[in-house]
Amino acid sequence: MRVYKPSLCYLKDKTRKANTSSGSFFKLCESSLKRRGSLVEPVHRQLFGYYLAKLLMFILWFIALPSPIFSQKLIPRRQRLPRELREISGLVRTPEGHLWLLNDSHNPPALFRYDPQDHRILEVRILPVPNRDWEELASAPDGTLYIGDFGNNRNDRRDLCIFRYCPHTHTLDSIRFVYPDQYNFPPSIPSEWNFNCEAMVYWRDSLHLFTKAVFASKCVVKHYVVPARPGTYVAELRDTIRLPKRVVTGAALSQDGQILALTSYFVHRLLGFIPRSRATVFFFTHFPEGYFLRGKKSKKRLPEFPLARQYEAITHWDGKNWLVANERRLWQVQCLRTIKGLSN
């Protein structure tokens, strides 16, 4: 059977005609677009200008919107505090978004107003009272500050005191108190040394104190109540709770008073010489009125690399954000840290 094979000249001729026809087609399309360009181009320009104007209007509206994103700076997760606050032991939030802070014993009797968003001290107020062992700071809704001068590591103090100070009027007075169940100063058995205090909150015209036990004890936290007005009182022992291997160093209430937070830590040595520590915040919710320790308890572990810091103070910032502060210890610098806790 004979197979027909087109000649080389025939194939070249067909290829040339195909290229010519396709080229003519594209040239026709190009000339058509050029003739209609006067109509197509302005439409595209009009659409581009329309959407650009819409985008600019949205950006301007979004910036002008009174959103907390623009009206308030965010607090960093961790910030180093100034050297003046290297032994911080108490802090509270002000309605303006600042913090009042204080140092513990062996420091001047000073209150520091601090801006956690700009990371700077706004003012320092020196009070005309001694700092025997300031350990906690609480505030009332009207801005009155309560300074807990009740640090009692040796359990032998007979001059426990809470100073009441109004930052607006600069008035200052004191609340004196004794524990109803302390008969020896100090108790003869070291495991009964549970009359030191570093945690206090204000609630409904009263001050609620939470004791710091010694590690040799069963780590029982005692809840005392003292009136929040000047005078001399015998504190009311309202409640107790056991927090195994923990001692309490700070307390705070949420802004609506529905959540109590207690900072705590423990220190011991593995194999007798390897130091180990751990820090925890305990949250109490759904408690009867004034009986915080009877509520539902949850906890949050605080950072501990390589060792947990000694967190001495806590305050509620907003929503689920709480601020905790630690004092300087050896290689650990004084810091303010934002943690996620429970929300009110």
End-to-end CA distance of the chain: 96
b/e string for 218-241 if b means 16 or more Cβ within 10 A? ebebbbbbbebeeeebebbebbeb
At 105, give phi and psi (nearest 5°). -60, 165
* Structure letter (DSSP) for residue 11: H
Match 């103070």 to its residue by tokens.
Answer: 313
CA 339 to chain centre: 5
- Alpha-carbon distances, residue 8 vs 11, 22, 75, 184 (angstroms): 5, 21, 81, 122
Structure tokens at 185: 């100063």
Q: CA–CA separation, 300 vs 311, rounded Å?
A: 13
- Give me the domains of the chain, ranges plus CATH numbers: 1-71 (no CATH), 75-340 (2.115.10)
3-state DSSP assignment of residue 6: coil
Rounded to two decimals, the pTM is 0.78
* DSSP calls for 242-262: E-TT-EEEEEEE-TTS-EEEE
Q: pLDDT per residue over 272-305, tens digit each? A: 656 667 899 999 999 999 999 999 999 999 876 5
Q: What is the pLDDT of residues 301-321, one digit of tens each?
A: 987 656 667 899 999 999 999
- Print pLDDT tens along the chain (344 aa): 444 444 444 444 544 544 444 455 445 445 554 554 444 445 555 666 767 776 777 676 655 544 443 344 577 889 999 999 999 999 999 989 999 999 999 899 999 999 999 999 999 999 999 999 999 999 999 999 999 999 999 999 999 999 999 999 999 999 999 999 999 999 999 889 999 999 999 999 999 999 999 876 789 999 999 999 999 999 999 999 999 889 999 999 999 999 999 999 886 666 665 666 789 999 999 999 999 999 999 999 987 656 667 899 999 999 999 999 998 877 789 999 999 988 76
